[in-house]
Structure 1
Amino acid sequence: MKSLKRIVRHAGAWLLPVTLGLSLTAVASEQANFATLRLSPGFSPQAGTAMGETGGHVSMLSITNQDAQGNLCLGYTAYRDMPDYLLILEADFDRLSIGVEGRGSDTTLMVSGPQGGDSVVRCDDNSGEGDNPLVEDSSWPAGEYAIWVGAKEANQRHSYKLVVEP
């Protein structure tokens, strides 16, 4: 019985790195729930806009707990391993803002990328107008970014518009 407990204890020690590895690689998805946005400098406002709908029971905290500034990544989304959007930046951007117009609903936002390099996670809840999330930052290297839009409560369906602006 002691050897079985030792095996289980050792197996548990292996599960943590394996689980963490899955958590980190799950973000590198080649598919998006709603759309892929490809943006180059001087992109049109229409190219940086997409529609979507929240809904799901997956806590965004299970994808990543907090962002680079220590903000919690709040909200609920449909899929852990598939972002709502892929944002492909064809070139470096000195500044970008990514926001959600939740149309009266309380939404949240998480952006992770660029994939394959020094990935940075950015999360927000209410920095935009009303209860809308807004991530504004400088230094966005070219590459692929995963974007999740969440509802404040699990399984809430709300239509919204994602807006990316220089």
Structure 2
Amino acid sequence: MAIKQQQWGAMGLVAGLVMGAVAALPTLAQSANFESFTLDEATPNASVSGVTNGIFALSNISGRDRTGNICTGFADTNPDHIMVLQQDLAALTLQVNSGSNDTSLLVQGPDGSVRCGQDTGRRNPDARIQDQSWAAGTYRVWVGSHHHGQRYSYSLNVSP
């Protein structure tokens, strides 16, 4: 009898741990390092800020984006921002401003598709994504640096 009680006790402990871990998964998957924001037709612009933390290769999320661009740079394992689109938007531009440091940008859409942004030009190595057809849903946004371990303060501006 004592052995059965111990077995049931151990099984209850394991079940409790598994249920706790499963309950925490959605929270972990959606947590962001910095501000989250929501866009719609009435509020199509946003500006958020953060600091790059270049330790995780963005190519681990995706080697190339949906149009074949190479995804480069280093960021944190968690997304830096969560962007929620309340409805489909025809076009969006995401522009990093870090004082012309060499930044990168990766956005993962609600369907798992990826958009990557690179330097905007030789004079401004800050990253930008300018693209069409943004479906309503939740997007995870990583702002990174091109070199491992670089920390840059930045603002991320989003506009149609």
Normalising by structure 2, we get a TM-score of: 0.77
DSSP-derived class of the 2:116 partner: strand
Q: CA deviation at 1:73?
A: 0.9
Partner of 2:4: none
Residues 55-84 of structure 1, C-alpha deviations (whole Å, 9 max, x = no match) = 1311111111110111111111121xx211
For residue 108 of structure 1, what is the amino acid of its counterpart? S
| 2:116 paired residue among 103, 106, 123 | 123
* Structure 1 position 44, deviation (Å): 6.0
Consecutive aligned runs of 4 or more in structure 1 exceeding 2 Å deviation: none
Deviations 1:39-58 (A, max 9, x none): 1113164xx10011011311
State the 1:120 CA deviation: 2.1
Judge which range, 95-104 or 84-93, deviates more.
95-104
Alignment root-mean-square deviation, CA: 2.0
Aligned to 1:77: 75
User: Where do residues 4-19 of structure 1 align in structure 2 (5 Å cutoff)?
Assistant: none
* Residue aligned with 2:30, SS: coil
Structure 1: distance between partners of 2:44 and 2:115: 24
Query: Any unmatched runs of 5+ in structure 1?
Result: 1-24
Distance in 2 of aligned mates of 1:143 and 1:123: 18
Aligned residue-pair number: 134
Give the letter aligned to residue 84 of structure 1. Answer: D
> Residue in 2 aligned with 1:31?
31
Counterpart of 2:86 in structure 1 is 90
- % identical aligned pairs: 33
Distance 2:132 2:44 in 1: 19
Residues 96-134 of structure 1: CA deviation (Å, up to 9, x unaligned): 111101213110000110x2x3x3211011136710111
| SS of residue paired to 1:125 | strand
Q: Is the 8 A contact 1:29 1:83 kept in 2?
A: no
Unaligned runs of 5+ in 2: 1-24
Q: Counterparts of 1:136 and 1:155 in 2: how far apart (Å)?
A: 26
- Partners in 2 of 1:76 and 1:30 — Cα distance? 19
